Amino acid sequence: MRPTPGGFAIPFAMCCIGVALFSVMDAAMKGLSLSIGLYNALFWRAAAGSLLGLALMLLTRQRWPDRAVLRLHLLRGSVVALMAALFFWALMRMPLAEAIALSFIAPLIALYLAALLLGETVGRRAIGASLLGLVGVGVILSGKLQGRYDADALLGAGAVLFSALLFAWNLILQRQQAQRASPIEVAFFQHVVMLGVFVLGAPAWGALPDRAAVPLVLLAAGLAFTSLAALAWAYARAEAQRLIPVEYSAFLWAALMGWLAFGERLTLTTVAGALLIVAGCLIAARSKGADGAHVEAGTA
């Protein structure tokens, strides 16, 4: 953990900025996916983010990572590519706030993945917290089983939960990657690896975005890169347990952006479920002390 001259205030502010930018990026990607299709939204955002990252890597004279770190970049970028595809597919079918709320289950899933992959012990308090989070998921899904949503929206909820499972694995990879790469390097390689994954589908689905969509592509790429770097910088300089509560503000930003951009209404079941999931995550974070990772699902 590298100390910051300004103490906790500067990492806290950077985390707030990163979370807010990710939420705006989610809204931009939802609009872009509805406009030019999911594949092209993901592909062109990754391409623009890779070019931005390359320029910053050269300007700041970043060193090439060693083989072990490069393997982590490749694995994490591949996981995030699939995670992002599922998450933004879901965003095309359900409100932003609901998708963000469901994605908050990821840190609780990460508890069990950490036990499986890292040999960590899952205590009784953490198990209780995960059960509380599952109740929250059930509350949110209950709204979709009362006839107010179509089957497509329910499939979207399933995609978010599968995306959260992948994001939990991403949290484990991030924990293994901690302190081994700069924020610019992390953001650059994530975009490059995602571009390498998405380019495989270019012959079948690739198309140049129309002129009206280009500003939204550039906006989404800039927001994704900046928010990734901001969060990586913050988490390198402050304890995760002190920053985790900030990340749940993504729900508020998602609700605001969904209302402003898409006219989405916030339901009582979504709010109640989100509160239960967040409570479970905070209990789990306390039970694990300072060990933890950030929860923003828009890391995609």
pLDDT 10s digits, 219-232: 999 999 899 888 87
Look up residue 153 and give its amino acid.
A
Cα dihedral 82/88/91/92 (nearest 10):
-110
Residue with tokens 């059960």: 131
Q: What is the pLDDT of residues 167-185, one digit of tens each?
A: 888 877 776 666 688 888 9
Q: What is the pLDDT of residue 289?
A: 47
Q: Indicate if the alpha-carbon torsion angle 166, 119, 242, 221 is positive or negative.
A: negative
Distance CA 199, CA 41 (A): 12
Q: What is the pLDDT of residue 291?
A: 45
Q: What is the pLDDT of residue 124?
A: 77
Q: For residue 44, how many other CB atoms are within 10 A of its CB?
A: 25
Q: Which helix (H) or strand (E) holds 158?
A: helix 151-177
Q: What is the pLDDT of residues 225-276, one digit of tens each?
A: 899 888 878 877 777 667 767 778 888 899 999 999 999 988 888 888 888 8
Please give the structure tokens belonging to residue 76: 């994490």
Q: What is the pLDDT of residue 292?
A: 47
Helices H / strands E in the chain, number of each:
13, 0
Per-domain boundaries in the chain: 9-299
